[in-house]
Structure formats: structure tokens, C-alpha cells
Structure 1
Amino acid sequence: MKIAMIGTGYVGLVTGTCFADSGNDVICVDIDEAKIQGLREGKIPIYEPGLSDLVLRSSEEGLLTFTTDLAAAVQACRIVYLAVGTPPAADGSADLTALKTVVDSMAPHLTDDAIVVTKSTVPVGTNEYIFRRLKELLGREVDVASNPEFLKEGAAIEDFMKPDRVVVGVRRPEVGEVLHELYRPFLRTDKPFLTMSPQSAELTKYVANALLSTKISFINEMANLCEKMGGDINDVRRGIGHDQRIGFAFLFPGVGYGGSCFPKDVRALASMARDHGLNPRIMDAVDEVNSEQKKVLKDKIDQHYGGNLTGKRIAVWGLAFKPRTDDIREAPALTLLDYLLEQGATPQVHDPEASENIRAIYGDKLIYCESAMDALNGADALAINTEWKNYHNPNFSEMRTRMNGHVIFDGRNLYEPDQMVEQGFTYHSIGRTVGAAESEPLSA
């Protein structure tokens, strides 16, 4: 099939590339001439494992091309995907300015049998808006489908190639059949292709992310309770996770969630609820708990040093909001870095992929280190924000030698508390205490 993918951000580039890899003729469109030229030269603007190789291969085979010519791309393709950004507005709602501009610009160039598919995360009713707007502009009906994405940064290629499910919202079953054929190569393991109304499809993306966000905020709140009561959140997590009704996914305590999806989608879903006269109490609480959880390392550091960080050198491992990505949008590390700088400390930072994105914000206010061990040189303490694989099994003896102070604030529970004490470190983690089993019982 011939597909125009409008927008070469994270979702558009991954989706377009994966469709091309399965044999479709894909034209990726963007208004950013520098980005398009870079993609033609094989320069990938984001870090996503496996993406660079797929882009190169599909480009060499002529199945994946890049252009700024929206009209030519739309005229050449029956299926037109919309994957433009929908950033949050001040009130938490999604800003559809870019999407509406694209709809108006592409309308005159759509073929008679065109299928317009929204891949961007958009509020419920956006499909209806596009359908009515195109009818207004063209004097005829155009098929408009919704096809939400469920890609995890760091595992997006795998998620697309082997989806848990594919969700499409359509008005006519014939449109669903066309999209089913498009996705057939990715559904060979009998994963479901779910057809529903556009409104239900639009809601599905928000509800999925909101529920996952709720699990994260819940386990973080329980971790904080464990600390106060002498429990171990890892034991509690195991105790509940083996219940098949609960499971283990997204029940790892830490410093809160970040990225481009969860924070934005939770707030957008809450905004939609308010617009319809409902009080989104759970969504507001999820967002509030997460915002507070991003301060957990700050609070632990503040308590340990009595609020006096002037002149302290703090090593920071992990800047991206999660491993296997360079995305720092709403990353918990930002909260920590702001605090350290405000308190007169010197952050010595390391991240395998996100350092340049952090440098674009903080400039020379930070010390950027080539290796995790280099970040420890002369450090009074180490704060861990992101669970990159190379942080899991460090040489603790070398760490002690390099560090000036032997204090670790572990925001991802990478190490065992008692073992860290044996290694000679003062160790602070999330929802666990050293010797928790020996804590005093509740009074009668």
C-alpha cells in the first residue's frame, strides 16, 4: 500500500518505518526541512534501539522516502496517517493547532478513495471534527479512522512488530478491512485486531495510559508508606504481584513517571472529564502523587545533609525519564537537577543517551561525564534516577575509591540495602529500610 505519514516525530517515524519494513511504500512528511534532509542522510533525530537500521534499510530499498511536499505526498497515497504533535495546553487539554492546520492543508489533495487515519493522541471527538471539516472543505465525505499507538519508548520497534492488539475506530466496516490488511503482517501470532467506534478508539489510548500511570502512582504511594512503617515495598510487590488479578507490570516503585505520554494523557483525560461536567478525582490524584514523587530524592538528600548542600558535588546517574531513550520530557531528573543547582551543589551527570538534551537546557551549569564512574570522581554522594543496564552491577570498590563521600540515593532500587551497608555505603532507596525485618512492632 502507498502511505503518507504526516509528522516525523517519535510516533510518525517509528510507524512509517515499520510499515515500510513490511513492504509498503511510505512517504514521511514534515515541515522541518533540516529534519527531512537529515533523515535523507540517515541522521535519526531521536534515539530508539533498532530504528536507525530499519530507516537505512527501507530507504535503500526505496520503500521509505522523506519530503516536505505535503501536497505531492497526499496526492500519491490512498492512506494518509496524521502523526503530528498534540502538546498539552496550559489547562492540560491537548493543543490541536498543528493537526487542524494539516487537515486544512491536505484536504484539496486527497484522492477520492482516501482514508485519513489519526495516529496522534487526540481528544475524543477529534475524529468527528476531521470528518466534518473535510466534508465542509470538499463537499463530500472522506473516510476518517482512528488508530491509537501503544508504543513504549525504548521498545517501540518490538511493540509495533509484535503488538498486544491493534485498535481502530471506523465508521464503515470496509475501512476496517483495509486497515486490517495493512496490519496483517504484524498479527501472525493471533493477536486481536479490534474494530470499534472512533470515539471508543480515541478513549482507549487515554484510558490505557491513565491506568498504567495509576499503577505507578499507587505503588509509589505504598512505597512511601512502607518506609514509614518499616516494611519493604519489594516484598509487598511480590506479595501482591502473584495475584493474577493484579500482576507485576508497572508496579516498580521509583521517582515517578515522565516522558511525553503518561503526564500529558492523564491531564488530558482529566480535562475531558471536567469539560463534560465530571470530577476526575482519581486522575487528579494520580497526577498529584506523581508530581510529589519526583521530589523524593530531593527530600532524602535535603534530610541527609540538613538542607546544606553548598559546595557539595553530587553525581547523578540517569537523566532520561526511562532507559533506552534520550527523552527528558518531564523526567524526574529535571526536578533533582533544579534543586541541586538552587542549593549551590555541583551536579556531575552521566546518561548513555540523554546528556546532549540536558545540555540544551542547563548548558555549562553541570559537569557532563563520559562514563558513570567518571561522574563519581570527588563526589560527596550519588543519586540514581534512571535504571540503565550499566548501572545495575557497578564495581563498588572502585566507587568507594572515586567518591569523596560514600552516600547513595537510589531512586530505582537497583541494589539491596543490607549489601550496600556491607559495602561501606550509607544507602537510601525507595520504600525500603536497612534491617526492616527488625523494626519495632506496633504498640498494642
Structure 2
Amino acid sequence: MKLSVFGTGYVGLVSGACFAELGHEVICVDIDEEKIEGLRNGVMPIYEDGLKEIVDRNYANGNLKFTTLPAEGVTESDIIFIAVGTPSDNEGGADLSAVEAVVESIAENINDYKIVVDKSTVPVGTGDWVEEMIEEQKEADYEFDVVSCPEFLREGTAVDDTMNPDRVVIGTESEKAAEVMDELHQDFEAPILHTDRYSAEIIKYAANAFLATKISFINEIANICERTGGNVQEVAKGIGSDHRISDKFLRAGVGFGGACFPKDTKAIVSTAAEHGYDFKIVDSTVEVNEAQKKTLVNKLRQEMSDLEDKKIAVLGLSFKPNTDDMREAPSRTVVKQLLDDGAEVKAYDPVAMEEAEKIFGDSIEYSEDAYDAIDDTEAVILVTEWDEFQNLDLDRVKELLNNSLFIDGRNCYEPEKMKEQGFTYYSVGRKAINVK
């Protein structure tokens, strides 16, 4: 099939590349000329395991093309995927300006029957809005259908999630469009759930809101554990063994970040408010998460009341391992707190250093590796659980630190081991070790 994908971010680029890998002819469209030129030369705008190999291979064999011309994407494809960003606006809702720009291009250049697919995460009713815009603005009298087909990929495993989805949701009332979308997705060998368009639009928000709520819930349990002597890992194991709950997303830590959970939780709360409903649970989830991001530096302050001119090591800047994405990353809150307290920050992340420099500039020191970051500092704060941070040479860490303060925001180490090593050790939802 001939497809176009508008937007070359995590969703658009990964989706386009994977469809090309399955033998479809795909045109990826983006208005960023530098990004498109980079893709033509094998430069990936995002870090995602396995993506570059798929892009390079399919660009070379002609299945994958890149262009800055919207008309080319519309006229040369039968199915048009809208996969542009929908960031939060000032009120917490979804900013649909990029979607609107794509829809205008479709209306202007439509030259045959088209299936327009909302792949971006958009509020319920967006499909109606897209349909009305095209109908009102189209310059030629061709038929089209608008379908909602939300994505469920996770950054860091986006290629695998796209190629091996646990379900495909297709929201449309058009039998013709549904048949074409079924055929397009048959190679994925995943269950296909057919719904109306409204339900499909809600499904993505509902899934992310539920998972985010589960994370904030276990973080609140962790805070109770710290105050009562419990161990959140044992509690999580105990409740996660219940098949009705499961152990997924029950790992306590410094809070969630990234492009989806923060944005989508705010958006569904905003959508509910627009329809006269107060979505209290998810509203509280957002509040709890913002507070959780501040807990690590609060623990540091318990040991060091004055952080002025103190050097602090921060390990991990991306919001999760295996990605360079720092959108809403907990590290941003941690670093800001430290700088506001007058501390000097030495930071290291395996892949997100370039992104970090765009955010922090020269206000922090960028290190060559974890040990370089730790050297000659008063404390280390572990924010992102990259594999290399979970297997540090603790003897070397102890030797490099000016004192033995280690704050573990992802529970990567066992308290008893840290006690034996002589660290003053704080984690999340577990008893602190060797504290004042």
C-alpha cells in the first residue's frame, strides 16, 4: 500500500519505518528541512534501538522516502497518517495546531479517495473536527474517511512495540476504511479491536491515565512505607501477585516523565472539565507525580542543610533508559532544585547529554562517564535506571565521593549491601541506611 506519515517524531518515524519494513511504500513528511535532510543522510533525530538500521535499509531500497512537501505526501498516498505532536496548551488541553496544519494540506491537495488516520493522541471529537475541516476546505470533490488508530508504543522499545503490538485499535464507522485498515495491519498478527471513533480516541488517554495512576499510587505507598518502616518492594510484590492487579507499573521511584503520561493525564482532565466532569483521580495523579519528583533533593537536604557551592553528581537525565527524551524528565526537576539551592551539578547520561545541553546550557558540568560525574562530589543522586548505573563499582564510587551519601531514585541497590559498603543510603519506599 501507499502511505504517507506526517510527522517524523517517535510515533511518525517509527511507524513509517516499520510499515516500510513490511513492504509498503511510505513517504514521511515533515516541515523541518534540517531533520528531513538528516534522515536522507542516515542521521536519526531521536535515539531508538534498531530504528536507524530499519530506516537506512528501507531508504536504500526505495520503500521509504522523506520530503518537506505536504502535497507530495497527500497526492502520492492512499492512506495518510497524522502523527504530529499534540503538546499541552496553557490550559492543560491538547494543542492541535500541528494537526490543523496537516488537515489543511490534505484538504488543499486531495486528489482521490483517501483514508486519513489520526495516529497522534488527540481529544475525543477530534475526528469529527478533522472531517469537517476537510469537507469545508477541500478544493476537489473527492471522498475520504477519517479513522482513529491510536499508537501504544513505548520510548526505548518503540520499534518492537510497533512490530509486535498487543492490540490494534481501529475506530471508524466506515466499512470501506475498516477493511483497508484491517489489510494494512494483518502482518502484525495482533488482535484488532474495532470501535467507533469516539471510543478509539478515548482509549489511548484512558490507558495512559490508568498506568500513570498506578505509578503515582505505588509512589504514595512508598511514601507511607518510608514513614512506617515498610518496604515498598515487598508491598508491590504482595499486591502485584494478585492477577487482578499484576506487577506492571508498580515500581516505586522518582515519578514519571516523557512525552505521553504528563501530557495525556492533563489532557484527559481538561477534556473531562470541558464536558462538566471533575476527574479527581487523574487530577491527583498529576499532583502526586509533581511532588514525587522533588523527593530526592528533599532527602539530600536532610543530610546537607546547606547546598551552596556543594558539588552533586546526577546520574541519568533522560526520563527513562534507552531513550534520549528529556521531556518532563524527573531529572529536570532535580537539577533545577539543586541549582536553585546554589549547588554545582555534575551530570552524566549515556545518550541524553546533547539534549541536556539544550535545556541546561552551561549551568551544569557534563561528565564523560558515571565515575567522572561522581568524582569529587558530596553526594550522588541516581535518577534514571540505565543498566550501567545498576552495576556500578561501589568501592570505586565510595573512593571518589567526598563522603558516602548515595540517593537512589530507582531502588537499583539493596539497602543491606549499601549498609555493608558504608554508604549513607536513601532509596524510595525503603528504610534509609546510616542516616544522621
TM class by shorter chain equals: over 0.9
Matched, 1:360 2:362: no
Uncovered stretches (5+) of structure 2, i.e. residues with no partner: none
Question: How much does 1:344 deviate?
Answer: 1.4
Aligned to 2:112: 112
SS at structure 2 position matched to 1:102: helix
Question: How much does 1:401 deviate?
Answer: 1.3
Aligned to 2:311: 313
Contact 2:218–2:252 (Cα < 8 Å) also in 1: yes
SS at structure 2 position matched to 1:373: helix
Aligned to 1:158: 160
Aligned partner letter, 2:378: D
Q: What are the within-5 Å matches in structure 2 for residues 49-198 of structure 1?
A: 49-138=49-138, 141-187=143-189, 191-198=190-197
Normalising by structure 1, we get a TM-score of 0.96
Question: 2 CA distance for matches of 1:333 and 1:101?
Answer: 33
Question: How much does 1:394 deviate?
Answer: 1.1
Matched, 1:238 2:237: yes
Contact 1:340–1:347 (Cα < 8 Å) also in 2: yes
Question: 1 CA distance for matches of 2:427 and 2:102?
Answer: 47
Aligned partner letter, 1:79: I
User: Number of aligned pairs?
Assistant: 432
Counting aligned pairs with the same residue, the percent is 49
Q: What are the within-5 Å matches in structure 2 for residues 211-360 of structure 1?
A: 211-306=210-305, 308-360=306-358
Question: How much does 1:340 deviate?
Answer: 0.9
Aligned to 2:370: 372
Question: 1 CA distance for matches of 2:73 and 2:105?
Answer: 12
Runs of 4+ more than 4 Å apart:
none
Question: How much does 1:311 deviate?
Answer: 2.0
Question: 2 CA distance for matches of 1:71 and 1:43?
Answer: 24
Question: Which one of 423, 431, 434 corresponds to residue 433 of structure 1?
Answer: 431
Normalising by structure 2, we get a TM-score of 0.97
Contact 1:321–1:333 (Cα < 8 Å) also in 2: yes
Question: 2 CA distance for matches of 1:93 and 1:30?
Answer: 24
Aligned to 2:415: 417
Contact 1:29–1:69 (Cα < 8 Å) also in 2: yes
Aligned to 2:401: 403
Aligned to 2:14: 14
The 1:303–1:435 alpha-carbon spacing in structure 2 relative to 1, beyond 3 Å, is closer
RMSD: 1.2
Question: 2 CA distance for matches of 1:33 and 1:88?
Answer: 24
SS at structure 1 position matched to 2:170: strand
Aligned partner letter, 1:130: V
Contact 1:418–1:434 (Cα < 8 Å) also in 2: no
Question: 2 CA distance for matches of 1:61 and 1:359?
Answer: 36
Contact 2:112–2:143 (Cα < 8 Å) also in 1: no
Aligned to 1:47: 47
Question: 2 CA distance for matches of 1:159 and 1:214?
Answer: 22
Q: Deviations over 1:345-386 (max 9, x none)?
A: 111101001111111121111111111111111111100000
Contact 1:134–1:141 (Cα < 8 Å) also in 2: no
Aligned partner letter, 1:165: R
Question: 2 CA distance for matches of 1:299 and 1:352?
Answer: 26
Question: 2 CA distance for matches of 1:102 and 1:72?
Answer: 12
SS at structure 2 position matched to 1:167: strand
Matched, 1:207 2:173: no
Question: 1 CA distance for matches of 2:154 and 2:227?
Answer: 33
Aligned partner letter, 1:321: F
Contact 1:131–1:141 (Cα < 8 Å) also in 2: no
Aligned to 1:382: 380
Q: Which moved more, 1:199-208 or 1:370-379?
A: 370-379
Q: Deviations over 1:26-69 (max 9, x none)?
A: 00001111111011001001101111111001111110010011
Question: 1 CA distance for matches of 2:303 and 2:178?
Answer: 58
Q: Deviations over 1:391-412 (max 9, x none)?
A: 1111111111111111101000
The 1:58–1:226 alpha-carbon spacing in structure 2 relative to 1, beyond 3 Å, is same
Aligned to 1:439: none
Aligned partner letter, 2:38: G
Q: Deviations over 1:248-304 (max 9, x none)?
A: 100000000000100000000000000000111111100000010000101101111
Aligned partner letter, 2:264: D
Question: 2 CA distance for matches of 1:110 and 1:16?
Answer: 20
Question: How much does 1:140 deviate?
Answer: 5.6
Q: Deviations over 1:152-188 (max 9, x none)?
A: 000001101110000011121221111111111111x
SS at structure 1 position matched to 2:370: coil
Uncovered stretches (5+) of structure 1, i.e. residues with no partner: 437-444
Q: Deviations over 1:179-236 (max 9, x none)?
A: 111111111xxx3101111100000000000000000000000000000000000010
Q: Which moved more, 1:110-119 or 1:251-260?
A: 110-119
Contact 2:127–2:146 (Cα < 8 Å) also in 1: yes
Aligned partner letter, 2:248: A
